[in-house]
Structure 1
Amino acid sequence: MGNITMKDIAEKSNVSIATVSYILNHVKGQKISDETKKRVLTISKEMGYIPNLTARTLAGKKSGLIGILRVCDLTIENPWQDFIYCKFINQIERILNRFGYHVLFTKVDVSCPELNVVLQRKLDGVILLDVSEDIFYKISNIFHVPVLIIDGYLEDCLFHKIILDYNVAFEKSEQLLNSNPEFIISYKSNNKGILNIIDSYANKKGIELLFAKSVKELAEFSRGKSKAKGIVINEFVSLFAARYLNPNNFVTVCSCGSPEILPESRKKIVLQEEKSEVAADLILSYIKGDYQKNRCKYTFLK
């Protein structure tokens, strides 16, 4: 079967091509019943209809593409780097799909950011994951569309940032431990602002701190700490930390929204908000031009 067109869907749905276009392009202000909308959407899905994004762009409309760029050091090999954002990307893609958007995901090497693949496509918005300040400005100066930063602390009032509220997480961790932690283990973020927040807390409390870049580093740091109480940031790092530490003695801060991968008995801090839902709502509002809605340029997840 060739490419499915709106005409094919209209004939099978027994409606006009214009009605199909209004429904599939989410055009507001049209008097179309919910029953008709549901029928057209169901039939379009059953027939395997794929929107022609190129035609949409050439027509002067939005492309329907949102880019997600994961900044990472490709020279570092550790088992958690590839998993940290898997759930986030999967969830936000499903949410954006419901609003007629597709996601273009790519990794960007922190040492040599190559953006040709992304620049070849017209994007309506860009979401940056775990980006350093210098890489952020290199990227943001290229795109003239809304840019949203995930897990990045930057003192720039022009861009919205979504980050974990580490102060709240540390306070809750102390309550679960019923004492001050003796160590903190976290993955090595690309963002200095995030690292500084964690480092500042550790220095204030006199806590040993490791920004783990490998399992070997994690194992070496854990020696002699079988009875020590502490905090581990990130669920995937926690799984490996449990190999070398007593899991009953540390609290896991679930920074990537995957608490289900940990045993029920594990002490953990779970975010009350889904990072993907907050991010989708913000990027869509900015694409629509609703800048007044989000005057506060930080969203702290608790």
Structure 2
Amino acid sequence: MSEKRITMKDIAAEAGVSTATVSYVLNYSEKERISHETRMRIFEAANKLKYVPNMTAKSLASQRSYLVGIIINLGGQDKKSKIYQYYDLAREIQRSLYPKGYDVVLISTQEMEKDFTIGQKRSLDAVFIMDMEEESMKAIASHYYVPAIFIEGYIEDPIFCKILTCYESVLIQAEEQLGSSFYVVMEDHANKNVLQTIAKKIPPENIFVNHNDASLIQFLKEHHNQKGLIIGEILGMQVENYVDNRNISVVVNSAKDIMLLPDTKTIVISNKEKAQKAVEIMDRMLRLDNPDEVERITYIRPM
């Protein structure tokens, strides 16, 4: 006797939603606004029950837009050195998406509540959101009804996927290159967990955060006899102008085409690896491919 065919009604019962809501989600309909959390609950129920759609993969895929949004949060205090890092990451995401047939809508904004509507007007399959404070991330995620993947931004909610630099590993490698005592020069991240992690190891007076009201030159003068970890290649190039480059190590986004002096020590946190991991997670979420097994937090460690 053949097994009972799993229907949308079965999934609705498992997920605690209506059959109509299941239909909207599994058919990628844009007619109704359904939260990201509800979509994920339905995807997980479909996977648990081993639901097989009564349509070909081709017809399912044809209902996608093959448009993906990349949202870059540009705070009012952000320097060009930080902006470069995130545009370089956006470029790597584009490179990973293009072979899969996706186009990208790039949204860079200083007024998130106002400008995110630009992305809403497009029929996006997924969004990647870079460096955003938790309250803004919650607001944005509640308005996007597709998988939202946060890069270098932390939200205390297990339903969302996050891709983060492992700064504990960065500090360990910095110790190997510089010794146990060094200062840190870093960007002003919206994700305050970054500063909190570094502050566990480095005294506050030895941490420089690059914002408009801070003087990098003055900080370097006060620490001219010390060694330093510089997080970001453009910041590293600036620091090279004022210190002996043999006394610093710079966190860069790629092992290739480095703009620093040849003998400057580096620690590589690959933007290419971040991008490939983000796109891999997006693929699995869109394919309903074992959503329970998709990593909710992925840490990128030094190469």
Shared fold, TM over 0.5 = yes
Distance 1:189 1:100, change over 3 A: same
1:154 touches 1:193 (CA, 8 Å); kept in 2? no
TM-superposed CA distance for 1:290, in Å, is 2.1
TM-superposed CA distance for 1:295, in Å, is 3.7
Q: Whole-Å Cα distance in 1 between the matches of residues 127 and 151 of structure 2?
A: 11
The reply on whether 1:222 has 2:252 as its aligned counterpart is: no
Q: Whole-Å Cα distance in 2 between the matches of residues 188 and 158 of structure 1?
A: 27
Q: Whole-Å Cα distance in 2 between the matches of residues 261 and 235 of structure 1?
A: 7
**What code does the residue aligned with 2:89 have?**
F
Gaps of 5+ in 1: 1-55
- TM-score, with structure 1 as normaliser: 0.73
Q: Whole-Å Cα distance in 1 between the matches of residues 231 and 90 of structure 2?
A: 19
**What code does the residue aligned with 2:279 have?**
A
Q: Deviations over 1:219-243 (max 9, x none)?
A: 1211132221121111111111112
Match for residue 265 of structure 1 among 263, 266, 271: 263
Q: Give the aligned partner of residue 197 of structure 2.
A: 197
The reply on whether 1:85 has 2:86 as its aligned counterpart is: yes
RMSD: 2.5
Q: Whole-Å Cα distance in 2 between the matches of residues 214 and 84 of structure 1?
A: 17
Q: Give the aligned partner of residue 279 of structure 2.
A: 280
Distance 1:79 1:108, change over 3 A: closer
Q: Deviations over 1:16-37 (max 9, x none)?
A: xxxxxxxxxxxxxxxxxxxxxx
Q: Whole-Å Cα distance in 2 between the matches of residues 246 and 158 of structure 1?
A: 46
TM-superposed CA distance for 1:113, in Å, is 4.4
2:73 touches 2:112 (CA, 8 Å); kept in 1? no
1:181 touches 1:207 (CA, 8 Å); kept in 2? no
Identity, in percent, stands at 22
Q: Which has the higher contact order (CA 8 A, sep 6+)?
A: 2
Q: Whole-Å Cα distance in 1 between the matches of residues 62 and 227 of structure 2?
A: 58
Q: Whole-Å Cα distance in 2 between the matches of residues 111 and 105 of structure 1?
A: 13
SS at match of 1:131: coil
**What code does the residue aligned with 2:197 have?**
I
Distance 1:283 1:108, change over 3 A: same
1:184 touches 1:230 (CA, 8 Å); kept in 2? yes
Q: Give the aligned partner of residue 183 of structure 2.
A: 183
Q: Whole-Å Cα distance in 2 between the matches of residues 293 and 236 of structure 1?
A: 39
Distance 1:294 1:245, change over 3 A: farther
**What code does the residue aligned with 1:241 have?**
V
List 4+ stretches of structure 1 deviating above 6 A.
none
Distance 1:258 1:128, change over 3 A: farther
Match for residue 65 of structure 2 among 46, 53, 63: 63
TM-superposed CA distance for 1:300, in Å, is 0.7
TM-superposed CA distance for 1:102, in Å, is 0.6
Q: Give the aligned partner of residue 158 of structure 2.
A: 157
Number of residue pairs the alignment of both structures matches: 241
TM-superposed CA distance for 1:144, in Å, is 1.1
